[in-house]
Amino acid sequence: MAGPRPKKRRHLISKRVAPYLFLAPFTLLFLAFLIAPMVYAFNLAIYRTTVVAGTKFVGADNFIRALGDPKFWQGVIVLLKFAIIQIPGMVAVALLIALILDSGTVYLKSFFRVSLFLPYAVPAVIATLIWGYLYGPAFGPFTQLANALHLPAPDFLAASTVLPSIANIANWEYTGYQMIIYYAALQAIPADLEEAAAMDGANGFIYALKVKLPLIAPMVVVTVIFSIIGSLQLFSEPYLLHNIAPAQISNSYTPNYYAYSLAFSNQQYNYSAAVSFVLGAVTAVISYVFMLIVNRGSRA
């Protein structure tokens, strides 16, 4: 019969081509706005443009310069310190909140869950400027309180405290988000596991420590990796706070900020691209190494 056969052929083609068509919009945009800039950045980085000599090919010069640039490495050190200060605290608090909410013992669970997540809805820029005011010597409430109690006003933006202050802003912004992820992971643990543990004599605390935490550990690792990637990209907070603490926060405070300043204050686009590239490479390497360490640990 001639009827069914042509239809069948049409379907087979459709089935083979369909996935590519479904992927097409995303892939095209991906190529245009993620891959192309990457390629272009590399292209930029291997040239140098000066007013005098025009544009010429310089190979790896810019990269080598970046790798030897003290400002770049100071920025990297700032990032590493930042990550070490910020991430453990955030993860610990997020886990604590998630465990408390999951234990089902507190009142107003839903209310806490939603309100603790709200900072995620606040743009980093706005969070920074709000905290900037909170920190501020002019009318920050902490300064006011200190004055009222005749205590020395805390200086949140001194050279030694500026990084923890920035870390605090990041904590405030992202703890809720981490908490929601951990909470969802905890909720996925079957309920009868808790009953089995109860029969085994474990109270809630022991159960949380010895069963819940190990079970969500893989999830925690994933979020830590993403947090590391995120913290290596620090820009908005130092950029905004630069205005109220220019001495403590230079315009090369973080590598991203440095790349930005090179491009827009100094017009050094080529070198800026190289710096961005090296930062990207460093980030990728650190994340990959971290993943390997953890994977090997979990497989052992």
**In the window 42-71, what residues touch another protein (CB under 8 A)?**
44
The answer to whether the Cα torsion of 72, 130, 243, 268 is positive or negative is positive
Q: Around Cβ 263, how many Cβ atoms within 10 Å?
A: 18
Binding mask 82-111 for another protein (x = CB under 8 A): -----------x--xx--xx-xxxxx--x-
11 binds another protein (CB under 8 A): yes
Task: Give strand ranges (E) for the chain.
Answer: 47-50, 54-57
With helix as H, strand as E and coil as C, how does 202-240 read? CCHHHHHHHHHHHHHHHHHHHHHHHHHHHHCCCCHHHHH
Question: Contacts with another protein in 231-250 (CB under 8 A)?
Answer: 232-233, 235-236, 240, 243-244
User: Burial of 299 by CB count in 10 Å (0-12 exposed, 13-18 middle, 19+ buried)?
Assistant: exposed
185 binds another protein (CB under 8 A): yes
Q: Shortest Cβ distance from residue 58 to another protein (Å)?
A: 17
Q: Which of 71, 120, 155, 164 contacts another protein by CB under 8 A?
A: 120
Quick one: which of 60, 264, 266, 289 contacts another protein (CB under 8 A)? Answer: 264
Interaction of residue 37 with another protein, rule CB under 8 A: yes
Minimal distance, residue 281 CB to another protein, in Å = 9
- Helices 70-102/255-264 angle, 10° precision: 130
| 259 is a contact residue toward another protein (CB under 8 A) | yes
**Best CA proximity match to 115, nearest among 132, 97, 91, 140:** 97
Contact set for another protein, span 16-35 (CB under 8 A): 16, 18-23, 25-27, 29-30, 32-34
Distance, in Å, from the CA atom of 215 to the CA atom of 206, rounded to the nearest integer, reads 14
- To another protein, the closest distance from the beta carbon of 204 in angstroms equals 3
73 scored as a contact of another protein (CB under 8 A): no
Shortest separation between residue 189's beta carbon and another protein, angstroms: 9
| 274 binds another protein, rule: CB under 8 A | no
Say whether residue 219 binds another protein (CB under 8 A).
yes
Write down the least CB distance from residue 280 to another protein, Å. 4
Q: Which two tokens stand for residue 202?
A: 């474990």
Cα angle: 77, vertex 81, 84; to 5 degrees: 140
